[in-house]
Amino acid sequence: MAVAFDEMNIPGGDLRPAYQELARWLKETPPEALEYRRQEAELLFRRIGITFAVYGDSESTERLIPFDVIPRIMSGKEWTVLEKGLKQRVKALNMFLRDIYHGRDILRAEVVPEDLIFQNPVFRPEMNGQQVPHDVYVHIAGIDIIRVDAEDFIVLEDNARTPSGVSYMLENREIMMRLFPDLFARHKVAPVERYPDELLSALRSVAPHGASGEPTVALLTPGVYNSAYYEHSFLADKLGIELVEGRDLIVKNNEVFMRTTEGVKRVDVIYRRVDDDFLDPLTFRPDSALGVPGLMSAYAAGNITLANAVGTGIADDKAIYSYMPEIVKFYLGEEPILKNVQTWRCREPKDLAYVLDHLGELVVKEVHGSGGYGMLIGPAATKATIEAFREKLKREPEGFIAQPTLALSTCPTCTASGLAPRHVDLRPFVLTGSKNTTIVPGGLTRVALKEGSLVVNSSQGGGTKDTWILDE
C-alpha cells in the first residue's frame, strides 16, 4: 500500500497552508492541557447523552463515539471544488431515480444493465409511475468522500436512504467552540449551525400540493432503541418539529394524522428515519411494528411527502455505484467532478476472476451491506478468513463488489503516545428542496483510531473530528 496522503504535512517537512495556524497552536499548547480538554469533551458528550447503540452488543447498549479534539481542516478553495462535485452528484442521483421509476431512458440506452435494477431487492416496484412531490427523491444525502492525493476527491459511497451523522457535525462544533475558543479566534471557520434551518426549509418546500401554507413536518423514528435515536431527537428539537413513532400516526381517507392530546392533526411532510421495509406493514414487511398502516396509499394519493422518497436504495446500492460516472454523464452531459473508486463488479466473470486472484490485496464488500459489517479487508485478514470469503464469493458473486485497498488520507489525532496520523474520511450532507440544493460547509469527519486501521465506522471503533472549512 502506498504512503497515505497526509492532510497536514507535506512530505519533506512543510505544512499545508490550512494547517499552519493549528500547528503553531499545538506547539504552544502543553500536552497535558490537550489531554485535559479531551477528558472534558468526553464528559460533555456523556452528560448531553450523545450516544449510539451497537447492534449485537448486549454488554453496553449505549456507547459514546470517541471524539478527537484535533480538527480536520480544509481550505475554502478545496471546499468550492468539493461542493460543486457534490451538487452535481446529487442532481444526477435524483434524475436517475426519477428515470428508473418512470421512463427508464438509461436502461434503454443500456448504460446500466436492466437486471441490476429489476432483480435488485431495493428496487421498489410500488414506486413505478408514482409522482413524488416536486420530483425530489433524495432530499438528504450523505456522500462519503476520501482523499488519496492533493488533487482529487473520491466518492467512497453514496448514502441516499436515511444517512445519519449530522448531529455529530453540529455537536462536535458546539463542543469545540466551548473548549477551544482561543483556537477559533485564530481561524476563520465557516459556521455549520444553520443546517437545521436549511433542512427545515428544504422539507417545507417539498410539501404536497394540497398542504396548507404552513405545512406540518414531523420526524419519524423507529424509537429509543434505534442506534441513531439521539440524532433523531436532536434534529426534531433543533427543527422544532414533533418526533413521532409509527404508533403516533394514523391514516384516514388517505391522509396522515398524528395523535395529539387535542385530537388528531394532519401531517404533510415526514422526515423519516425508518427504512423502506418497515414503513408500512400493509405494503412492505407485514411484521413491522415501526410503521404506519396505510402510509403508502396516502403517499400514492399525493397527500404526504416522504423524505427521502421510497425506493432511493436503488441509487446508492453498491452495485449501481460503479456506474455513477456514466450516470452523471448520461443525465448532465458533464464530466463527473468527483471520482469513483475503481470497482470490480463480481457479477461480471472477468472481474470475478481478477478478484478471486487478488483477494489478499482487495477490499470486498457486500452489495447491500452497510456500516462496515460483512466486508473483507484483504491485507488485514487471516488466510482462513480469506478462504471462507472466497467460498461465499463463489456461491453468490452478484452479491459483492471489490475495490483496491485505498490509502485514505491521514490527519493528526490524539493517541496514547501523543499526536499521530490516523486515517480519515468525510461525510458532507447535501440538502435538496423544491428550488435548490444546499450544503453546509463541513461535514462529519470519521477517523480510524487504531493505528493503520482503515475502518472509520463508529460501529467498528471509529471516532469523529470536527471539520473546519476555512472562510478565506
CB crowding 270-308: b at 16 or more within 10 Å, else e: bbbbbbbbbbbbebbeeebebbbbbbbebbbeebbbbbb
65 counts as binding other proteins under rule CB under 8 A: no
When binding is defined by CB under 8 A, the residue of 3, 30, 39, 47 that contacts other proteins is 47
Answer for which of 199, 236, 346, 424 binds other proteins (CB under 8 A) is 236
Residues touching other proteins: how many (CB under 8 A)? 21
**Is-contact 443 428, C-beta < 8 A?**
yes
Q: What is the dihedral of CA 329, 333, 336, 341, to 10 degrees?
A: 10
Decide whether 178 or 450 has the Cβ nearer to other proteins: 178
Cβ proximity to other proteins, 64 vs 81, nearer residue: 64
Amino acid at 8: M
d(CA 247, CA 277): 16
For other proteins, the binding residue among 92, 258, 375, 424 (CB under 8 A) is 258
Least distance to other proteins from the beta carbon of 427, Å? Answer: 24
- Binding of other proteins by 188 (CB under 8 A): no
What one-character-per-residue DSSP string does 162-179 give? S---HHHHHHHHHHHHHH
247 binds other proteins (CB under 8 A): yes
Could you check whether the bond before residue 308 is cis, i.e. omega within 30 degrees of 0?
yes
* Residues 6+ away with beta carbon under 8 Å from 160: 93, 137, 138, 141, 308, 312, 313, 315, 316
Say if residues 122 and 101 touch (Cβ distance below 8 Å): no
Joined grid coordinates for residue 180: 477551544
Helix H, strand E, coil C: the string for 54-68 is CCCCCCCCCECCCEE
From 28, 32, 59, 262, residue interacting with other proteins (rule: CB under 8 A): 262
Q: Which is nearer to other proteins, 221 or 409 (CB)?
A: 221
**Nearest to residue 153, comparing CAs of 68, 95, 87?**
87
Among 237, 357, 387, 471, binds other proteins (CB under 8 A): 237
252 touching other proteins, by CB under 8 A: no
CA distance 405 to 146: 12
148 vs 250 by CB, closer to other proteins = 250
40 binds other proteins (CB under 8 A): no
Compose the 196-235 pattern: x for residues touching other proteins by CB under 8 A, - for all others. Answer: ---------------------------xx----x---xx-
Residue 248 in the binding site for other proteins (CB under 8 A): yes
Q: Could you say whether residue 152 binds other proteins (CB under 8 A)?
A: no
Binding residue for other proteins, selected from 245, 255, 280, 317, defined by CB under 8 A: 245
Longest CA pairwise span in the chain (Å): 69
Please report how close the Cβ of residue 47 comes to other proteins at its closest, in angstroms: 6
Q: Quick check: 8 and 414 in contact, CB under 8 A?
A: no
Nearer to other proteins, 183 or 304 (CB): 304
Under the binding rule (CB under 8 A), the answer on residue 244 touching other proteins is: yes
Q: State the nearest-atom distance from the C-beta of 230 to other proteins, in Å.
A: 8
64 binds other proteins (CB under 8 A): no
Contact residues for other proteins, defined by CB under 8 A:
46-47, 49, 223-224, 229, 233-234, 236-237, 242-245, 247-248, 258-262
